[in-house]
Amino acid sequence: MNTVVQYLGYHWKGIPLTPTTAGQCRVCGGDLVGEVSTYKEVFGGRDNWTEEGMVALPDGEYVCQACRDVALGTSVNGKTRSRNENYFLRSYGFWVTDVELVFMESPEDLLRIDPGGRPFGVFIKDGDLKRKHFLYYIPLNMSVEEAWVFRAALLRPVPVRLSLLRYTAHKTVSAAEKIFAEKGVVLSQSAVVKYESLSERRRGELEQSGFPGREVSAMTVSERELLASIVRGFFRYN
């Protein structure tokens, strides 16, 4: 099986997804694709390698070309970058499959993720890129119902129900537009994230406008934070 970093290697550098050597990559755990290197060839003498506790197969001997050139090399953070890599550094993030790499411009683009039933990975750059090796941390998802989204702000993936996020965001924006038209106010970020802490009267007003309160209450903290960012994007003057 391929991994997200191998999808990126394919789209960014043309590294094939077909295995060239039997076995799995020590770093990402995927098939050994491209020009395979030994662990010692990649890490020998590298005193700055501090990610050993995060590799997929600590006893593995070989490293795939995608991990060597994309995740572990100077490809993204160094001086030699492709047009796609430069664009990545300016984008909000991306989602990727074996046939498509889509850069996102804003949190609202999370609502447009459509992998077409293919395995996919999602990365959002909601914080500084403090580590250059993060690309092999991005998990591979099989469904938009329950996906793992890698957040740069946390330096780890978090579970996000993309289908619920899409439904709730559209309902929330619709309710906000209705409230704005009637009362000249827009749902605040805090109203989205801290729905249960609102007064009963305020919650009733929101629910009458179509605000999906129960869905918001059932969301994880990370899902609410993403929802708030999306709503803020739709109403930038809020």
- pLDDT tens column, 160-208: 999 999 999 999 989 888 877 777 666 777 778 788 888 888 888 888 8
Token pair for 218: 């059932």
Residue 238 has pLDDT above 50, yes or no: no
| Helices assigned H by DSSP within 140-186 | 162-183
Residue 132 has pLDDT above 60, yes or no: no
| pTM given for the model | 0.86
Does one domain contain both 50 and 149? yes
Range of the domain at 143: 4-160
Does one domain contain both 86 and 177? no
Does one domain contain both 203 and 134? no
- Per mean pLDDT, which range of 27-36, 98-107, 133-142, 228-237 is the poorest? 228-237
Does one domain contain both 187 and 115? no
Give the three-class secondary structure for 52.
Answer: helix
Q: How far apart are CA 207 and CA 185, in angstroms?
A: 15
Does one domain contain both 133 and 16? yes
Angle between helices 162-183 and 200-208 (to 10 degrees): 100
Q: Can you give the pLDDT at residue 147?
A: 95
* Number of domains observed in the structure of the chain: 2
- pLDDT tens column, 15-43: 999 999 999 999 999 999 999 999 888 87
Does one domain contain both 156 and 199? no
Q: Can you give the pLDDT at residue 45?
A: 54
Residue 23 backbone phi and psi in degrees, to 5 = 115, -175
Does one domain contain both 127 and 89? yes
Does one domain contain both 13 and 116? yes
Q: How far is CA 138 from the centre of its chain?
A: 7
